[in-house]
Amino acid sequence: MSQVLPKLRYARSHEWARVEDDGTVTVGISDHAQEALGDVVFVELPDVGADLGAGDDAGVVESVKAASDIYAPVSGKVIAVNSELEDTPETVNSDPYHDGWFFRLQPQDAAEVESLLLDAETYQQHCEEDA
């Protein structure tokens, strides 16, 4: 069974969001998503400075099985990307919640994190329904 971390929020499209101490939001894909994709071989990240709306395409993750879009879970400006994934995309498989993060946003509205995203328990139920 996939690991779901209780302190994160989740999108139905399988991105996770972690609110940092400075109010920024770090984004990656869930353990469930990386397991479904299989071995990740390439990650396309958004440009730093890009303005994204909630649900906008923010990049692509490719595996040996498929390519999948990455969506912005909340609206905001991209302030950082995990450039390490360019050389080691497999980090998404081995550590999706820490070293495998994708990008960081300065959210337009911090309340979106609570209103648009699922808590861990609800996300776990969503994954079980998808199976």
Give the 3-state secondary structure of 30-95.
Answer: CHHHHHHHCCEEEEECCCCCCEECCCCEEEEEEECCCEEEEECCCCEEEEEECCHHHHCCCHHHHC
Q: Residue 110 above 90 pLDDT?
A: no
Average pLDDT over residues 98-127: 93
The mean per-residue pLDDT over the stretch 74-85 comes to 97
Mean pLDDT (whole number) for 25-50? 96
- Does 131 score more than 90 pLDDT? no
Mean pLDDT to the nearest integer, 110-128: 91
Mean pLDDT, all residues of the chain:
94
Q: Mean pLDDT throughout 82-90?
A: 97
- What pLDDT band is residue 2 in, cutting at 50, 70 and 90? confident
At 129 the pLDDT is 85
Q: How far apart are CA 88 and CA 92, in angstroms?
A: 8
**Comparison of pLDDT for 114 and 44, the residue scoring more:** 44
